[in-house]
Chains A and B, each alone.
Chain A
């Protein structure tokens, strides 16, 4: 019998981690996501499942602890918010370069710098373009509900191991802090040594026994070999695009105008669609669920039959670039954003659609 509870997004991340058989969480406090580690410490999962939870001395140490745990073929994760995620970029590029799977949760707040502790979506570029140095990408999942905060933990680990690549759950302060009804997953056991041998036996650090030594490294001093390795990474990213680009459409069947929005902006746009339709404007919502890989194919298909797209983000315009790169050039694409911690209202989104697209065409 599935367990249904009323919980905060951040608390659900912790609960879902324990239930999906996560082996280790390494974190550092930062608003607005500190409830993740607080919940874990209160739950004491080491007594229950053996999951390790450790408060690191810094975001940098936390992501490197994840690197060590991930190198052992364990399911390891960390969570943070924007300034802390900036600090983790070094670790993330090493994880991507060593092809180590892990889960990173980013509950985004407004920036730049210390910015604000209020919600924002201004770290889309950082999340989807790699973030650290080198040609790499994270696979980025964007939850729009507390339920998806739950579902994406297990999904995130699955995708991380499928591609041997770090996966990021890119939430924002709204999703992290709000309480909703959530159906919790059933408990899955942590992987045994045999499971790890079966799943990651070709690379995991388990102690050199009856095989060649395993080395988790991103170093290759021979440029030609390093180029070949980069080819391999790029092939992996193409596979992600082909097989794991995810999205959701709402009222797009008859829509003339489409909002493109993810996370909490997508939730707000649901109300904007309702307001539009009350005024006779046929509006729909295209919600990218994976931000990298961006769901290009279905969005491009839509662009052949609609009158315009409005990218709605709590940023000065980041995802809108992916929309413009995707859709037919003759379809107008506009951006509406509130940022610095300000959340847009459904009404101002409708007004922006009318002013920037409907009246302008």
Chain B
């Protein structure tokens, strides 16, 4: 007995659909980039927890500057590194809203170090999603604070040299030291299991906002196959072998 495809595509057989919180805009991200998956997870959590009408996002400068084209919520686009300050202004005047920033490693761990540090220290009731792919993607693959020792980038063409460039910054561990953070975790999105864990962490972070538990900070270790000059598959492998030892996954703080 043969089954026609048309008979399978029915409402009751659907096991997956795009969440309505994602727009239909075609994402500009490169093949293999982690941003698309992380966007989807944030959108799904917002939709599933029913907070879409109460959520305001703050996008950074970097590859995810155009995040406001993909998540169908209200957004403020911040200057480079300033998203936590912008989110502070929004959250303080809209204490009932769910406010989150979405930032990369250059934005958050380099030019915006002061803003993220102090937002976390004040315990702003916001969620910070930090995608760490150890490189500046948008500007063409330059060294980031989180670039690994020896890692080749366009501004470390012979590999990151600690004498010249200092050490990879574990900003997530630093932020976990601050009394204002309630939940600090590091996740990844390279396998279905990792994606499920990351989604649970994002859900928990937004639930923390409702409970006024201070700043929730989620690092997602991601890939940048274009910047790393690898295929998506190789980039995932390289991330597991090189990034995870330096940036181990799991909850760092949960109070």
Interface, chain A (partner B; CB < 8 A): 23-24, 26, 52, 54, 56-58, 60-62, 64-72, 74, 76, 90-91, 94, 98, 205-209, 213-219
Contact = CB atoms under 8 A, between A and B. Distances in A.
Contacts of A65: 85-86, 88-89, 92
Contacts of B89: 24, 26, 64-72, 76
A205 B56 contact: yes
B58 A68 contact: yes
B17 to A, nearest CB: 20
Contacts of A68: 58, 76, 78, 85-91, 93
B82 A91 contact: yes
Given A52-B93, A68-B89, A219 B77 contact: yes
Contact of A76 (B65, B72, B82, B93): B93
A61 B93 CA distance: 16
Give the one of B54, B75, B79, B94 with max A CB within 10 A.
B79
B52 interface: yes
Given A57-B118, A72-B90, A207-B55, A64 B85 contact: yes
Contacts of A208: 52-53, 72-74
A24 B93 contact: yes
B82 A60 contact: yes
Interface string B31-58: 0000000000000000000001111101
Main secondary structure of the interface of B (DSSP, over half): helix
B29 interface: no
A215 B75 contact: yes
A60 B89 CA distance: 13
A56 B87 CA distance: 13
Contacts of B97: 207
Nearest to A57: B118
Given A24-B93, A76-B89, A64 B115 contact: yes
Interface of B: 52-56, 58, 65-66, 68, 72-79, 82, 85-94, 97, 114-115, 117-118
Contacts of B115: 57, 60-61, 64
Nearest to B53: A209
B39 to A, nearest CB: 14
Nearest to A75: B93
Closest 9 CB pairs of A and B: A68-B89, A217-B77, A64-B85, A65-B89, A57-B118, A68-B86, A69-B89, A64-B82, A61-B85
B93 A74 contact: yes
Contacts of A24: 89, 92-93
A208 B73 CA distance: 5
A69 B93 contact: yes
Contacts of B68: 213, 215, 217
Contacts of B117: 57
Contacts of B92: 24, 52, 54, 65, 69
A213 B79 contact: no
